[in-house]
Amino acid sequence: MKIFETQHELQSYLQGLRTTGKKIALVPTMGALHEGHLSLIHEAQRVADVTVCSIFVNPTQFNDPKDLEKYPRPIEHDLKLLTSVSCDAVFMPSVAEMYPTNELEWRIDLGNLDTIWEGEKRPGHFQGVTQIVYKLFTLVQPDIACFGQKDFQQVMVIQRLIDVKRLPVHIHICPTIRNDEGLALSSRNLRLSEAGKKKALALYRSLHYIKTHVNQQQPKELKQHAFEILETEGQIDIEYLAICESRSLREVETVDPEKQHVALIVAWVEGVRLIDNMIIHEGATA
């Protein structure tokens, strides 16, 4: 596994591969890797010839400087994990490498995607996400970029970036990795006690109820039953639960059989903010 810290080094490496016609996949991360991230590496290896994983804690997507400061950076552990799955290359730049002093102000039209749900809760967050992803896309020029379904709104934001900038990158959405009971694997879940993890399973059960009953009930009724599932656990503070059309993430009152729909949920358990979602209707044209 090759490790690069500068854009020039990485570009030189990738240029040699492109001349031989290799298909390149990018897996952007902020480190603190777990099995969910490794599943993205495996998917990238399945769909491309060369896999590049970036590890960069991007300062422009943090609303609170304290969160940036506290963000875990177990780099030795991350490199060990990437070596274990035979990742081809890792890009670990400094902040100065990615954000030179003459940086132009970044702004992209994301429609309503940066003002609803996570966009509303974290103003400016998705502008920061698109800023660094655009930099990585420009640098790596990947054929494919692999992202986890768990951060569904982020994936839709990046798809919007690709559409607006007309980038020749295909987004490969990788399914959320869950434990045997359904809990989504996440670095945040590691902060829960065993009792907290059991409570958090109610998020999965509520989403699963919506998915399995979407053809029998309207969204209002589906949400009512999902709230009942969540409330039976107690001590779960629900921030939002919504049934949306996938691309726009606009909440719907009825499910259009021609479109894909997703259920989104954010809740607090033991002071930890948990995010999850589930594709509940694929749509005739999905």
Helix (H, G, I), strand (E, B) or coil at 173: strand
Q: Residue 234 has what pLDDT?
A: 79
User: What contacts 200, CB < 8 A, 6 or more positions away?
Assistant: 183, 189, 192, 236, 267, 269, 274
61 is annotated as contributing to ligand binding = yes
| Tokens standing for residue 116 | 């609803």
225 is annotated as contributing to ligand binding = no
DSSP, residue by residue, 40-102: HHHHHHHH-SEEEEEE---GGG-SSHHHHHHS---HHHHHHHHHHTT-SEEE---HHHHS-TT
Q: Return the DSSP state at 280.
A: E
Give every residue of the chain whose pLDDT is below 50, as ranges. Answer: 286
Q: Residue 73 has what pLDDT?
A: 94
Give catalytic status of residue 37 as yes or no.
yes
Q: Residue 17 has what pLDDT?
A: 94
149 is annotated as contributing to ligand binding = yes
Bridge-based pairing of strands 170-174 and 24-29 is unpaired
Cβ contact 170:188 at 8 Å: no
Domain annotation for the chain: domains and CATH numbers: 2-174 (3.40.50.620), 189-281 (3.30.1300.10)
Q: Residue 285 has what pLDDT?
A: 52
Closest CA to 135 of 2, 10, 248, 3: 10
* Catalytic option among 37, 125, 172, 281: 37
35 is annotated as contributing to ligand binding = yes
42 is annotated as contributing to ligand binding = no
Q: Residue 188 has what pLDDT?
A: 81
150 is annotated as contributing to ligand binding = yes
45 is annotated as contributing to ligand binding = no
